[in-house]
């Protein structure tokens, strides 16, 4: 049986650089950073002083306050981004098609804020005062669960939890659901709200976060002076659709998703495998899956976290996969502006990758002032670049050795 073709027909985002996909894209192309002072927790308690926080977001624009109170913030972001994506796709979900519309939205750490607040209540006032909604607010699958409930999507409903690879794995997994014929439409991506006391404490304790107090330069992927990632929050959701289904209803097509690769490092709980070996296999698998030759690729939206080993090893992995063509490729890390959205990163970055294809503009890597000699590719460090992009891939690499790559192609 021939695999079905799958296209992207809708996008929705809540990010540190904008509370919708359009604003997010415009600010990314303008090279504007969403990093600012750390305000969700008391910055005096931590060596990290900056974060990429979502600003001026109001969940009551999307759902009633009474319902919103039964959810953690990561679910708020997922619902808002999903509603925007469904609207953007001009998709109506009703009794006739609900069984063929699925949801696959992941979160790296789920409702950490809820967990912390409810544990405090439990310690001070006992179990009777813990919210009856505590567990359903906290568990990572609840973004997918609530999106399904609010939008009436009754197809496969799932959640991938693979740390920083979550968003990309979710989209890849959803792509395969449609490709094999188990759904016509998938609402998919990632959501995260990790700027909490314990999350920041944990990332500071394992020295993953930048301690640069200057918000404008703290996130600097591939720069010699990078010193860790900047924690971010938000959600990125795409609508994936079987091609004939999309054409039959006259949908706007952003791009076609053609390849997905996922691998495990089997190496270390937090450090990437030397030379980005797992990332090499993920990219190769995604190219093979999409029947794409390495020299056909135009652009890579890199994982590019601004940490010492990730940026070095990802660069090595790109060279390993693409050989001489690696130096002709455009590579950029939009995390230089969004910070690292953990489980939501792959969702937002998938949106930016398909828009690069659709608009013919490659997002820049900002703050790359002092190049690292070991990071010697074309990181688009001199502002956004107008260039035709026919084929692009997005990488995500997570704690636990999870590697995920998805490949998009201009729809023809």
Indicate whether 226 pLDDT > 90: yes
For range 92-112, the mean pLDDT: 98
Structure tokens at 71: 């959810």
Nearest one of 29, 160, 25, 31 to 102, comparing CA atoms: 160
* Residue tagged active-site, from 164, 245, 375, 402: 164
Is the same domain home to 187 and 103?
yes
Is the same domain home to 44 and 72?
yes
* Number of domains the chain contains: 2
β-sheet bridge partners, residue 340: 231
pLDDT at site 299: 98
Domain interval for residue 168: 6-248
Domain edge (last residue) among 248, 275, 306: 248
Is the same domain home to 171 and 315?
no
pLDDT at site 388: 98
Q: How far apart are CA 320 and CA 315, in angstroms?
A: 9
pLDDT at site 2: 85
Contacts of 109 by beta carbon, 8 Å cutoff, 6+ apart: 140, 192, 194, 199, 342, 343
Indicate whether 1 pLDDT > 80: no
> How many CB atoms lie under 10 A from the CB of residue 213?
14
Q: How far apart are CA 122 and CA 120, in angstroms?
A: 5
Indicate whether 273 pLDDT > 80: yes
Burial label, 4 (beta-carbon count in 10 A; 0-12, 13-18, 19+) = middle
For this structure, is 76 an active site residue? Answer: no
Domain edge (last residue) among 200, 225, 248: 248
Q: How far is CA 246 from CA 12, 193, 251, in A?
A: 18, 32, 5
For range 101-120, the mean pLDDT: 98
pLDDT tens readout for residues 131-181: 999 999 999 999 999 999 999 999 999 999 999 999 999 999 999 999 999
* Residue tagged active-site, from 76, 245, 303, 402: 303
User: 172-195: string of b/e by CB count within 10 Å (b at 16+)?
Assistant: bbbbbbbbeeebbbbbbbbbbbbb
pLDDT at site 264: 97
Is the same domain home to 63 and 204?
yes
Mean pLDDT of the chain: 98
Indicate whether 300 pLDDT > 90: yes
* Residue tagged active-site, from 76, 245, 340, 402: 340
Examine residue 51 and state whether it is found in any structural domain, yes or no: yes
Element (H, E) at 32: none
pLDDT tens readout for residues 338-392: 999 999 999 999 999 999 999 999 999 999 999 999 999 999 999 999 999 999 9
Q: How far apart are CA 180 and CA 176, in angstroms?
A: 6
Structure tokens at 339: 């910070």
What one-character-per-residue DSSP string does 316-361 give?
Answer: HHHHHHHGGGGGTSEEE-THHHH-B-GGGHHHHHHHHHHHHHHHTE
Which CATH number characterizes residue 362's domain?
3.40.47.10
For range 269-290, the mean pLDDT: 96
For this structure, is 164 an active site residue? Answer: yes
For this structure, is 303 an active site residue? Answer: yes
Is the same domain home to 130 and 241?
yes
Percent of the chain exceeding pLDDT 70 equals 100
SS3 call for 401: coil
Examine residue 255 and state whether it is found in any structural domain, yes or no: no
Is the same domain home to 71 and 143?
yes
Nearest one of 174, 115, 106 to 141, comparing CA atoms: 106
């Amino acid at each position: 049986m021939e695999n079905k073709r799958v296209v992207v027909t809708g996008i929705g985002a809540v990010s540190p650089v904008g509370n919708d996909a359009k604003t997010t894209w415009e600010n990314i192309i303008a090279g504007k950073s969403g990093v600012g002072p750390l305000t969700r927790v008391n910055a005096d308690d931590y060596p990290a002083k900056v974060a990429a926080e979502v600003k001026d977001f109001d969940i009551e624009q999307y759902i009633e306050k009474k319902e919103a109170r039964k959810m953690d913030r990561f679910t708020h972001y997922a619902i808002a981004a999903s509603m925007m994506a469904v609207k953007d796709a001009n998709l109506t979900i009703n009794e006739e098609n609900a069984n063929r519309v699925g949801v696959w939205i992941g979160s790296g750490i789920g409702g950490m804020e809820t967990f912390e607040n409810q544990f405090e209540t439990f310690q001070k006032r006992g179990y009777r005062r813990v919210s009856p909604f505590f567990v359903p607010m906290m568990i990572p699958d609840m973004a997918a669960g609530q999106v399904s409930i609010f939008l009436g999507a009754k197809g496969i409903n799932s959640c991938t939890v693979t740390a920083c690879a979550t968003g990309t794995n979710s989209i890849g997994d959803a792509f395969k659901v449609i490709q094999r014929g188990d759904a016509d439409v998938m609402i998919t991506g990632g959501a995260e709200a990790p700027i909490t006391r314990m999350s920041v404490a944990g990332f500071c304790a394992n020295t993953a976060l930048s301690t640069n107090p200057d918000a404008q330069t703290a996130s600097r992927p591939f720069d010699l002076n990078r010193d860790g990632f900047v924690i971010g929050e938000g959600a990125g959701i795409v609508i994936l659709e079987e091609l004939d289904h999309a054409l039959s209803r006259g949908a706007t097509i952003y791009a076609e998703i053609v390849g997905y690769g996922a691998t495990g490092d089997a190496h270390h709980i937090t450090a990437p495998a030397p030379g980005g070996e797992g990332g090499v296999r993920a990219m190769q698998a995604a190219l093979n899956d999409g029947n794409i030759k390495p020299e056909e690729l135009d652009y890579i939206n890199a994982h590019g976290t601004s940490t010492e080993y990730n940026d070095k090893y990802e660069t090595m992995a790109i060279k390993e996969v693409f050989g001489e063509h690696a130096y002709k490729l455009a590579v950029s890390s939009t995390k230089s502006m969004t910070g690292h959205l953990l489980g939501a990163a792959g969702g937002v970055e998938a949106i930016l990758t398909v828009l690069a294809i659709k608009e013919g503009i490659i997002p820049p890597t900002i703050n790359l002032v002092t190049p690292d000699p070991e990071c010697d590719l074309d990181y688009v460090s001199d502002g956004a670049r107008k260039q035709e992009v026919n084929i692009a891939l997005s990488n995500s690499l997570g704690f636990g050795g999870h590697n995920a790559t998805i490949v998009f192609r201009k729809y023809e």
